[in-house]
Chains A and B, each alone.
Chain A
Amino acid sequence: MLNYIKMDLYRMFRMKSFLVIGFALIMGTFFTTSMSVMDYNAMKEETEKNLQSDEEPVNLGMDVTLPTRPGQMVTVYDQIYANLHGKFIALFMVIFAVLFSASDLSSGYIKNIGGQMKNRGSLILSKAAALFVYTVLTMLFYLIVQTAAQAVCFRNLEMGPLKGLMIYLSVQTLLHYALLLICMAVTVITRNKVFSMAFAVLVCMNVMIILYSTIDKVIEKLGIENFNLIRYTVTGRMSLLSMSPSAEGCERAVLTAVLFGIAVTAFSSRIFRKRDI
């Protein structure tokens, strides 16, 4: 198993998309941070003129909004919260997860190794392990890039509460990892890169909300009130995790990530083992 993980890590670090997506993440982070400066200045002006909008946030689509209250300093934590909660960073990560998961299938490399294993399903576990390394590295990389972007765009560097930031970042890392595993499973099961990529991007764009709300309505008609499916999904937990999460909130998010992660990995591993290459 360790050999398979080493192989997957080796090819992961040699993928062109690894570098391209890393570069896009830097550009994206600087772009959103610079846009935040404009938002922040506009918000200050509105506060001064007492013209604050009462508009409800739109749930569908990507929403990267600073949680900073008027008059407060924008911190790195605020930026991280906005980007992670809005699934902006997840968007880059899921694209890589799909490309990485599909590369051995689409290149045909799998045929060189698929027949030589006692249990082909182990290849899915090794991909999952490689994606874990990728998730952790990307989150650390993003933390550094975001800090740099904050210093450059806002010309000051306020990190915010460090303990809260670390807890939030850790729980979000786990949730992002679970989302990557879901995308990996979709890629392995469908064997269709275009579909998997579209699915991954649409999930980050909150398109699933349409499905969730439909299911919620059906459940409500069955007599169960106040049921919100989004609370039990990985992307829902990513959006709902607050900046100062309670212990219970963290536990629920971790539990959701772990359950989804194990379920989709086990399922895709089983399918991959049984299916002809």
Chain B
Amino acid sequence: MNNYLLCTRGLTKRFGHHNAVDHVDLHIPKGAIYGFIGRNGAGKTTCLKMISGLSAPTEGEIEIFGYRGRELEQMRSRIGCLIEAPGLYENMTAYENLKTKCLFCGIHKKGYIEDILETVGLADAGKKKTRHFSLGMKQRLGIGLALVGEPDLLVLDEPINGLDPQGIAEIRTTLYRLQQERSLTILISSHILEELSKIATDYGIIHNGTLLQELTREELMCRCSERIEITLDVPEQAVPVLDRLGFTRYQVTDKTHIQVYERLNESAMLNMELSKEGIPVRGITITSEELESYYLNLTGGAFHA
């Protein structure tokens, strides 16, 4: 038993000789909004399909809610998913689509469907057939369908794909509210890091089927935010000086660097104080990295959509 709601060990999916997902080890804490980032074809959807039970892994293990293997099969109803495009009966209304899922789950509670429509902002959809819905409305209904049965884990595959900025904002607000109100754990994939960064608390970056990195929101922000980067031969020597000057938000990141995340306009003073103490400073610069460029650097260059 561990502290994660979901973790995978060596999760692999092979199609012929091609490893679509290659020994992926995910760790998703309870209550997290986990942003699963990767380019098109990186293996995000395949991974999510295996987690949702729509596809069987070639190798590896999935543990959700502390259960795995056959035991996990019994717990599948606690997972709601929206994989690829929302699967809707287009000749039915939003209410009828939800009613179909409710019948499947054995839910007959009065007002239950209306509550879900309210939650996803489709209370006014009325008798409109879903074929006449906008993409945003369809995505929200897809999320509504995933919510039927009060799942503890929501798996959403690119729910903001193809949406306009307003649609993206609506989905983001809906997800944030769900996580806050229902304490849901949400696994959401996207190839737009910038958008995920607005709601995700944890991240996993996948590329060519391999998980490159897992990091928390704080770790990502640290790596991407504006900061003073000091290059030194022995960074530990500078720590007492920083403490004496009242710096609290700094980090020795490797054998030659210290990153300081506050009082960015005091870099000259900092340089002087270090020199006074006889600590040789090889370089001191204000640096930052955009989220997108951080991601691109990690995955090896520009997009190949």
**Contact surface of A with B, Cβ cutoff 8 Å:** 3-4, 6-7, 10-11, 14-16, 103, 107-118, 276-277
Contact = CB atoms under 8 A, between A and B. Distances in A.
B87 A108 contact: yes
B53 interface: yes
Residue of B53, B100, B104 ringed by the most chain A CB atoms within 10 A: B104
A154 B145 CA distance: 53
Given A3-B104, A111-B84, A116 B79 contact: yes
Interface of B: 49, 52-56, 73-74, 76-77, 79, 81-92, 96-97, 99-101, 103-106, 142, 145-146, 149
B104 A4 contact: yes
B46 to A, nearest CB: 9
A21 B40 CA distance: 42
Leading 3 A-B pairs by shortest Cβ distance: A108-B87, A115-B53, A276-B55
Given A3-B106, A277-B55, A112 B85 contact: no
Contacts of A277: 49, 54-55
Nearest to B70: A118
B248 to A, nearest CB: 46
A83 to B, nearest CB: 29
A277 B49 CA distance: 8
A111 B104 contact: no
A277 B104 CA distance: 18
A6 to B, nearest CB: 5
Given A6-B103, A11-B100, A108 B88 contact: yes
10 contacts: A6-B103, A7-B101, A11-B92, A108-B86, A110-B87, A111-B84, A112-B101, A112-B146, A115-B79, A116-B104
A113 B76 CA distance: 10
B55 A7 contact: no
Contacts of B83: 111
A16 B96 CA distance: 14
Contact of B49 (A7, A112, A116, A276): A276
B81 A111 contact: yes
Contacts of A10: 99-100, 103
Contacts of A110: 87
Contact of A114 (B53, B84, B85, B86): B53
Contacts of B146: 112
Nearest to A17: B91
A103 B100 CA distance: 13
Given A115-B81, A276-B55, A277-B55, A7 B88 contact: no
B280 to A, nearest CB: 59
A111 B156 CA distance: 12
Contacts of B92: 11, 14
Contact of B88 (A14, A107, A114, A118): A107
Contacts of A111: 52, 54, 81, 83-84, 87
Given A112-B146, A277-B49, A11 B89 contact: yes
Nearest to A126: B104
Given A111-B54, A115-B53, 11 more contacts: A4-B104, A7-B104, A10-B99, A14-B92, A16-B91, A107-B90, A108-B86, A112-B142, A114-B54, A115-B52, A277-B54
A277 B55 CA distance: 6
Contacts of A7: 100-101, 103-104
Nearest to B50: A276
B85 to A, nearest CB: 6
A20 to B, nearest CB: 11
A116 B101 CA distance: 11
B139 to A, nearest CB: 13
A109 B87 contact: yes
Residue of B56, B77, B103 ringed by the most chain A CB atoms within 10 A: B103
Contact of B91 (A4, A14, A276): A14
